[in-house]
Amino acid sequence: MCIYISGRINYSLASHNIIKMAIRQSSDMNKFKDALRSAKKVVFLSGAGISAESGIPTFRGAGGLWRKYQASALATPGAFRSSPSLVWEFYHYRREVAAKAQPNAGHIAIANYESKYGTEKEITVITQNVDGLHARAGTKNLIELHGNLYKTRCTKCKEVLINLTNPICAALENRGAPDANVVGSDIPVKELPHCQKCSGLLRPHIVWFGESLDPDILQKAEAAMESCDVCLVVGTSSVVYPAAMFAPQAAARGATVAEFNIEPTPATHDFQFYFEGPCGTTLPTALDG
């Protein structure tokens, strides 16, 4: 059976699958483990996929919707300006989901690897996730690129605080239901979380789309990426910048990069190693010494 693609190039479906299979085949795990054993500086770069097996929906997977919204449509300053109530319901829901979730074998394998080799190697975990599961698994040297669900920032005095209370304010009690048939969000602004110091409206201390990352955090992450020998890219679709640039740049300067994902990503061809499968299974194998 032939398929025609633009430019009237046609190739058999069979060869199409062979090409895909070639990309999709997992790499030689023993070869990767040799490279990891001799590494002095190791970086883990994680995305939503590492928390998928903890029951936290990823952005682009089936669970990427809350009510009728794409998560990325709510994670913007514009959404917060136009409906702080809706955005707070969204984050309240995610705080509740993450609080009930447990770190999975992938998070734990990374934390155990750090405690076992952290004295002889420089090990850094850079995460795009805001769910706090790496820290709860025991990871110490952690860079949270995009903030954390359990931190708030005052929109007036900019104070950043850790806030673990659930619900974060009385008005959010029993709110945040993800069902598509829940319409609207009408919590008056005065009942949303406010700053104890200056009574300014609080927002999640999270980097939204269109917002710059904290320069110090970005600098720390870039320094780790520029000097690592081995980088393990775990559970990320590699489509959100600047995080999506990090691993391809490391591979381009000669670092050994291994991708752990359930499917290839736009960056897979940049990397020497690709291990297909849930990272709760593949990471413990890769990190067991």
16 given a catalytic annotation: no
- CA-closest candidate to residue 271, choices 289, 247, 287: 247
List the interface residues with Zn ion, window 153-172 (CB under 5 A). Answer: 154, 156-157
Among 22-30, 113-121, 157-165, 259-267, the segment contacting ligand BV8 (CB under 6 A): 259-267
Between 138 and 200, name the residue whose CB sits nearer to Zn ion: 200
Residues β-bridged to residue 126: 45, 143
167 preceded by a cis bond (ω within 30 of 0): yes
- CA-closest candidate to residue 266, choices 229, 241, 286, 287: 241
- Judged by DSSP in three states, 1 sits in coil
The distance of closest approach from Cβ of residue 288 to ligand BV8 in the complex, given in angstroms and rounded to an integer, is: 17
Q: In this chain, which residue has its C-beta nearest to ligand BV8?
A: 49
Residue 263 near ligand BV8 by CB under 6 A: yes
Report the C-alpha dihedral over residues 254, 257, 263, 266, rounded to 10 degrees. Answer: -40
Both tokens of 43, joined, read 């970086």
Q: Measured between alpha carbons, how far is 167 from 57 in angstroms, rounded to an integer?
A: 20
Between 121 and 133, name the residue whose CB sits nearer to ligand BV8: 133
- CA-closest candidate to residue 261, choices 239, 289, 229: 239
Residue 86 near ligand BV8 by CB under 6 A: no
List the interface residues with ligand BV8, window 47-66 (CB under 6 A). Answer: 47-49, 52-53, 58-61
State which amino acid sits at residue 69: Y
Interior angle at CA 128, CA 234 and CA 184, nearest 5: 125
Q: Which does 250 bind (CB under 5 to 8 A by kind): Zn ion, ligand BV8, none?
A: none
What's the order of all strands across the beta sheet hosting 202-206?
160-162, 147-154, 202-206
Q: Which does 148 bind (CB under 5 to 8 A by kind): ligand BV8, Zn ion, none?
A: none
Residue 202 near Zn ion by CB under 5 A: no
First to last CA, the chain: 47
The distance of closest approach from Cβ of residue 185 to Zn ion in the complex, given in angstroms and rounded to an integer, is: 23
Residue 146 near ligand BV8 by CB under 6 A: yes
The residue annotated as part of the active site, out of 92, 107, 134, 146, is: 146
Summarize as ranges the residues that interact with ligand BV8 (CB under 6 A): 47-49, 52-53, 58-61, 75, 128, 130, 146, 206-212, 235-237, 239-241, 243, 260-263, 265, 278-279
Summarize as ranges the residues that interact with Zn ion (CB under 5 A): 154, 156-157, 195, 197-198, 200
